[in-house]
Chain A
Amino acid sequence: EVQLVESGGGLVQPGGSLRLSCAASGFTFSSYSMNWVRQAPGKGLEWVSYISSSSSTIYYADSVKGRFTISRDNAKNSLYLQMNSLRAEDTAVYYCAREGVITIFGVVKNWFDPWGQGTLVTVSS
């Protein structure tokens, strides 16, 4: 069974740091790009960061650029999100999601599936 399990969430003070992990199983982790997506309480989905299968390409949302760092360890089938200088507005459930991709007639098609169950990060004093 393809599965993603996040961990590492919790309560942290403003300005603090936290490292989230996402453990992958049931598929060849090293073959897939991965993403982090967050959802503030009662709000919609916000894409946070992307990392390619080899870690050669990384993107961030402007809202976290310079504060968050995405990384992966293909030997450990794990994805990470190092979050520094945390703010109250970073409070959210953080999901990891696998990026599916196929190419049809030279055109790349993408989607996020599956998603993990999420881990809650609360930034508060």
Chain B
Amino acid sequence: AIQLTQSPSSLSASVGDRVTITCRASQGISSALAWYQQKPGKAPKLLIYDASSLESGVPSRFSGSGSGTDFTLTISSLQPEDFATYYCQQFNSYPRSFGQGTKLEIK
């Protein structure tokens, strides 16, 4: 099974900051990676698929990059509504594993 390791596990940042979250796969997965945002008590929301394709309706301050084993999610200028937990997920093989999550908190 492919393991996904996100770093950091938690992050404190301020409105307007640029933040980057990393997801590393235990083996190459090409670009078969998605990113989700989850707020407390809510279902996850798709942000990015195919490592770098922005889902329709998602603000352009979100971007994804990477291929193979190393991926990043970048938020160019944090907004108050962006404080949440972020997960990566691989679609290279089953089981469809998720990273452990990165909690983004207000500094």
Contact = CB atoms under 8 A, between A and B. Distances in A.
B49 A45 contact: no
Given A44-B101, A100-B49, A112 B94 contact: no
Given A44-B100, A59-B94, A112 B32 contact: no
A117 B94 contact: no
Interface residues of A, number: 23
B91 A59 contact: no
Interface in B59-107: 87, 89, 91, 94-101
Contacts of B89: 45, 47, 112
A73 interface: no
The secondary structure that dominates the B interface is: loop
Contacts of A114: 43, 46
A62 B44 contact: no
Query: By CB atoms of chain A within 10 A, which of B1, B43, B49, B91 has the most?
Result: B43
Contacts of A61: 95
B44 A115 contact: yes
Contacts of A45: 36, 38, 44, 87, 89, 98, 101
Given A44-B87, A113-B45, A115-B45, 8 more contacts: A35-B96, A45-B89, A45-B101, A50-B96, A95-B43, A109-B91, A114-B43, A114-B46
Interface of B: 1, 30-32, 34, 36, 38, 42-46, 49-50, 53, 55, 87, 89, 91, 94-101
